[in-house]
């Protein structure tokens, strides 16, 4: 067994990660009052930092207060106080890990009944068959709204740096706004942001340029990109290869490869593409296609739970392995690997035939573990999917009342 998994990784910004293991972003849905990180998020990341992970990437932090994936989302905009974010960053770095903030705009992937805005490149809603009504109906963004969104990403990145974070990861995967612009299925514009890939990538490239200009050269800037969205006629591996080449001159440190969206939830281990049915590292085949041509270091996330799998991913040329669910069940997994041990438990599988509900239940199971870790309890991976989903819905109902009141009381508005 090689020790590559514990080798340091130097990035073009000059940042050095202590090892090749990253906690990939998992949306925590744990915002406290004012959509701010509170004690629970601080303690959760303190626990992960103590577990030996080289890099911690936060769950979605929203750049637009009127556009949240869920009512308990964290918002960092120009009006947010920095002290709660500074406490979050300090806790995340307390065990020696670097911490990057994932910054995101959900675009059209916003739950029905949420206040605020539902935007997209085009007025094309999320298609989940009989579950499509779970999401709001989007309106196509104006050029002015697009420009304001670029500015919002830059403001959030600059303030993340001021709060003590080591970098940001711009979320352009999983069907969120930047991914929507990249997708020919969702982006049906006929102006400068639609049509050929160069136009569909314009928003992402403008966001990266604005973020890079807003932060110090030593501050890491990464991009999360779908290797494919697993929908016929959608964004594919060749598109990903071209976008990575476009990102290289812009000062990007790293590209994280994942896949899927709410419509094809490959990121939860249920892809629609036959090449990715392997139980672990289910985007590895696609990553291998991209490693040979990528001018940037790649991070691969998806289904990695064992050290030998992580080593196999690194042996393929990938620079960093991203781990999500396994760290929700075993927060000290890197330290276990260092001492020759593996995780002792796995999450109860969700075997429901309804793909959309199964994906929602799987994410609810993960967040159930995160809440337990945050309050100092041991994870309980045997929790039943139905129980986790119902508990999640009750928590969201309460959070929605708080978010409605907060949004109406702020000056953020819907512009």
How many structural domains is the chain composed of? 1
Confidence grade of residue 232 (pLDDT, cut at 50, 70, 90): low
Q: Which residues contact 397 (CB under 8 A, 6 or more apart)?
A: none
For 138, 232, 299, the CA distances from 131, given in Å and listed in that order, are 16, 20, 32
Q: Is residue 31 part of a domain?
A: yes
Please report the pLDDT score of residue 270 as a whole number: 40
Q: Is residue 87 part of a domain?
A: yes
Confidence grade of residue 413 (pLDDT, cut at 50, 70, 90): very low
The answer to whether residue 223 scores a pLDDT higher than 60 is yes
Percent of the chain topping pLDDT 90: 77
Q: Is residue 301 part of a domain?
A: yes
The answer to whether residue 262 scores a pLDDT higher than 90 is no
Q: Is residue 201 part of a domain?
A: yes
The answer to whether residue 263 scores a pLDDT higher than 60 is no
Which helix (DSSP H) or strand (DSSP E) does residue 322 occupy? strand 320-323
Please report the pLDDT score of residue 3 as a whole number: 61
The answer to whether residue 233 scores a pLDDT higher than 70 is no
Q: Is residue 387 part of a domain?
A: yes
- Span 317-333, average pLDDT: 95
3-class DSSP assignment, residue 102? strand
Please report the pLDDT score of residue 289 as a whole number: 81
Q: Is residue 196 part of a domain?
A: yes
Please report the pLDDT score of residue 267 as a whole number: 43
**Tens digits of per-residue pLDDT, 264-305?**
444 444 443 444 334 455 567 777 888 989 999 999 988 889
Do residues 223 and 247 lie in contact, with contact meaning Cβ atoms separated by under 8 Å?
Answer: yes
User: How far apart are alpha carbons 200 and 111 in whole angstroms?
Assistant: 25
- Span 371-379, average pLDDT: 96
Containing domain of residue 315, as a range?
4-409
Please report the pLDDT score of residue 283 as a whole number: 66
Residue bearing the bigger pLDDT, 134 or 128: 134
User: How far apart are alpha carbons 69 and 108 in whole angstroms?
Assistant: 9
Please report the pLDDT score of residue 279 as a whole number: 44
Do residues 329 and 350 lie in contact, with contact meaning Cβ atoms separated by under 8 Å?
Answer: no
What the block records as the tokens of 75 is 């918002």
Confidence grade of residue 2 (pLDDT, cut at 50, 70, 90): very low
Residue bearing the bigger pLDDT, 83 or 287: 83
Q: Is residue 414 part of a domain?
A: no
For 125, 144, 192, 209, 211, the CA distances from 151, given in Å and listed in that order, are 25, 11, 18, 11, 9
Please report the pLDDT score of residue 260 as a whole number: 53
The answer to whether residue 182 scores a pLDDT higher than 60 is yes
The CATH code of the domain that includes 109 is 3.20.20.70
The model scores a pTM over 0.95: no
Least trusted range by pLDDT, from 13-27, 120-134, 186-200:
120-134
Q: Is residue 415 part of a domain?
A: no
Q: Which residues pair with 135 in a beta bridge?
A: 111
């Amino acid at each position: 067994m090689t020790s590559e998994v514990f080798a340091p990784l130097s990035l073009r910004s000059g940042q050095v990660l202590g090892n090749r293991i990253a906690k990939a972003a998992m949306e925590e849905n744990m915002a406290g009052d004012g959509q701010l990180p509170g004690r629970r998020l601080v303690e959760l990341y303190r626990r992960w930092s103590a577990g030996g992970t080289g890099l911690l990437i936060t769950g979605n932090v929203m750049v637009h207060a009127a556009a949240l994936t869920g009512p308990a989302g964290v918002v960092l905009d120009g009006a947010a106080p920095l002290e709660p974010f500074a406490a979050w960053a300090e806790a995340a770095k307390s065990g020696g890990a670097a911490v990057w903030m994932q910054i995101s705009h959900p675009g059209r992937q916003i739950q029905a009944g949420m206040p605020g805005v539902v935007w997209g490149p085009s007025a094309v809603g999320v298609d989940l068959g009989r579950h499509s009504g779970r999401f709001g109906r989007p309106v196509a963004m104006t050029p002015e709204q697009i420009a304001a969104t670029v500015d919002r990403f830059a403001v959030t990145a600059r303030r993340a740096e001021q709060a003590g974070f080591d970098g940001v990861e711009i979320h352009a995967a999983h069907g969120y706004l930047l991914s929507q612009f990249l997708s020919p299925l969702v982006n049906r514009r006929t102006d400068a942001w639609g049509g050929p890939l160069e136009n569909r990538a314009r928003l992402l490239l403008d966001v990266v340029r604005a973020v890079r200009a807003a932060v110090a050269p030593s501050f890491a800037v990464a991009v999360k990109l779908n290797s494919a969205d697993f929908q016929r006629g959608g964004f594919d591996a060749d598109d990903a290869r071209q976008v990575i080449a476009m990102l290289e001159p812009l000062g990007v440190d790293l590209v994280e490869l994942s896949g899927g969206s709410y419509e094809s939830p490959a990121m939860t281990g249920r892809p629609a593409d036959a090449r990715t049915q392997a139980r672990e590292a289910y985007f590895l085949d696609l990553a291998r296609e991209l490693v040979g041509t990528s001018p940037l270091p790649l991070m691969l996330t998806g289904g990695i739970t064992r050290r030998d799998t992580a080593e196999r991913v690194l042996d393929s040329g990938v620079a960093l392995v991203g781990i999500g669910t396994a760290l929700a069940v075993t927060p000290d997994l890197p330290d276990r690997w260092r001492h020759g041990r593996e995780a002792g438990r796995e999450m109860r599988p969700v075997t429901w035939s309804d793909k959309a509900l199964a994906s929602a239940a799987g994410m609810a199971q993960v967040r159930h573990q995160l809440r337990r870790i945050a309050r100092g309890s041991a994870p309980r991976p045997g929790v039943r999917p139905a129980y986790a989903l119902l508990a999640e819905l009750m928590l969201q109902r309460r959070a929605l009342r708080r978010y409605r009141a907060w949004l109406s009381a702020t000056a953020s508005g819907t512009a």
